[in-house]
Chains A and B, each alone.
Chain A
Amino acid sequence: MSRFKTKKGKGSPAINTSSLPDIIFMLLFFFMMTTTMREVTVMVKQDMPGATEVQKLQRKSLVSYIYIGTPKDSKLGTTARIQLNDVFANVDDIPSFIVSEREARDEADRTFLTTSLKVDGKTTMGIVSDIKQELRKSGAFKINYSTKKLRDMVDR
């Protein structure tokens, strides 16, 4: 039977790759845990101002976002607009937005809902004040002015 001897042992032995899937799966799970899904495509410019006294937003699932800034597409105008979810909106749409955001959450968590205002630095306060008034009327009192974190104000 030794007639059928193969030519084994001549070249370098193949590396065992049976653990490769496990390694890749580990990486996959790491990324699944540490990252969050991108939910909306931001259609407004977002150059947020920096601040030093910032806090991390806890529990991202309880945060609803309002984007404000001039549209990235200049055809849509040069004045600051509000973006809720994936559409441009007006200040009057905010109460219904807050209600729908609340409805989407678990009943026990609704009081912890935070509204994150992602506002472009060049925006004037008029539109931001209007939104704040609407949020007050809707009872969404917890807000967060989204900013970049600066280590020192010298970075400004």
Chain B
Amino acid sequence: MAKRSVPEINAGSTADIAFLLLIFFLVTTTMDVDTGITRKLPPPVEDNDEQADVKDRNVLKILVNSHDMLLVDGKPGNVSTLKDKAKDFMTVHFNNDQYPEVKEIVIEELGDKKIWVSKGIISLKNDRGTSYKMYINVQNELARAFNEMKEEASTEYYGVKYTQLVDDAKVKVINKIVPVRISEAEPEDRGGGL
């Protein structure tokens, strides 16, 4: 008797099965990349009296009211000029009362190099009626100011753009030289918003 061979399984439908799976995954999944502005919230303060005393000249006050209008350091401001103003404020100015105090920090990674940094803080306060869009615009402009300063510091000390720094230690050094100092005050309800 001749040896009976095992009949081959028909694999013609494998493609159809794979197609079904493929279409299922195409429908149920998304490919969108989430982008956004990352911020770190401060830990809650137990006591309001405990708030740190900061000298007036060290703070750039930015207020956004419920009509989405800006008040920068007591004067009406504009989003388009905000970046330059913030950058100018955070740059080191020696012996000038109009600008924040400066302090010297030592960067060990750069061979104990001494660098002057500004003690300035940007204080952002918004009303409950401020639109989210305006708030993001302001946050974006402030982020732009800091990013530009980081870029400048990076090209000065490492000769490459901040975004092209691959070494984590170098990124940390730049963040030490240009700390993102944005402080957000507790919100206030003045404009009768929601």
Contact across chains for A120 and B132 when beta carbons are under 8 A apart:
yes
Across the A-B interface, give the 6 residue pairs with the lowest CB-CB distance, nearest first: A126-B128, A35-B29, A24-B18, A21-B14, A53-B143, A129-B187
Using CB atoms, name the residue of chain B closest to A53: B143
Binds B, one of A4-12, A98-106, A144-152: A144-152
Contact across chains for A21 and B34 when beta carbons are under 8 A apart:
no
Binds A, one of B38-46, B49-57, B94-102: B38-46
Contact across chains for B133 and A21 when beta carbons are under 8 A apart:
no
Tell whether A146 pairs with B35 under 8 Å between CB atoms, given A52-B140, A79-B194: yes
Q: Is residue A123 within 8 Å, beta carbon to beta carbon, of the partner chain?
A: yes
Using CB atoms, name the residue of chain B closest to A60: B34
**A35 vs B137: C-alpha distance in the bound complex, in angstroms?**
30
**A146 vs B160: C-alpha distance in the bound complex, in angstroms?**
28
**A38 vs B172: C-alpha distance in the bound complex, in angstroms?**
35
Q: Mark B10-49, 1 if CB is under 8 A from A, else 0.
A: 0110110111011001101111011111111111100000
Within 8 A of B (CB), among A34-91: 34-38, 49, 51-57, 60, 63, 79-80
Tell whether A21 pairs with B15 under 8 Å between CB atoms, given A27-B22, A145-B139: yes
Contact across chains for A124 and B35 when beta carbons are under 8 A apart:
no
Q: Is residue A108 within 8 Å, beta carbon to beta carbon, of the partner chain?
A: no
Q: Is residue B129 within 8 Å, beta carbon to beta carbon, of the partner chain?
A: yes
Which of chain A's residues have a CB closer than 8 A to the CB of B41? 132, 135-136, 140-143
- Give chain A nearest CB distance to B161 CB in angstroms: 14
Contact across chains for A54 and B37 when beta carbons are under 8 A apart:
yes
- Give chain A nearest CB distance to B56 CB in angstroms: 25
Q: Is residue A96 within 8 Å, beta carbon to beta carbon, of the partner chain?
A: no
- Give chain B nearest CB distance to A46 CB in angstroms: 11
**Chain A interface secondary structure, helix, strand, loop or mixed?**
mixed
Using CB atoms, name the residue of chain B closest to A65: B34
Contact across chains for B140 and A53 when beta carbons are under 8 A apart:
yes
Apart from A31-B26, A136-B42, A145-B38, 15 more pairs, CB < 8 Å = A17-B12, A17-B15, A35-B30, A38-B28, A49-B132, A55-B38, A57-B33, A57-B35, A121-B131, A121-B132, A124-B128, A142-B38, A147-B36, A147-B140, A149-B35
Interface residues of B (CB under 8 A from A): 11-12, 14-15, 17-19, 21-22, 25-26, 28-31, 33-44, 66, 126-133, 135-137, 139-140, 143-144, 147, 186-187, 189, 193-194
**CB contact between A125 and one of B15, B40, B42, B135 (< 8 Å): that residue:** B135
Contact across chains for A128 and B132 when beta carbons are under 8 A apart:
yes
Q: Is residue A110 within 8 Å, beta carbon to beta carbon, of the partner chain?
A: no
A sample of 27 inter-chain contacts (CB < 8 A) reads A17-B15, A24-B22, A31-B25, A31-B29, A32-B25, A51-B36, A51-B37, A53-B143, A55-B36, A55-B37, A57-B34, A57-B36, A116-B36, A121-B132, A121-B136, A124-B66, A124-B193, A125-B132, A125-B187, A126-B193, A132-B41, A136-B44, A141-B40, A141-B43, A143-B39, A144-B34, A145-B139
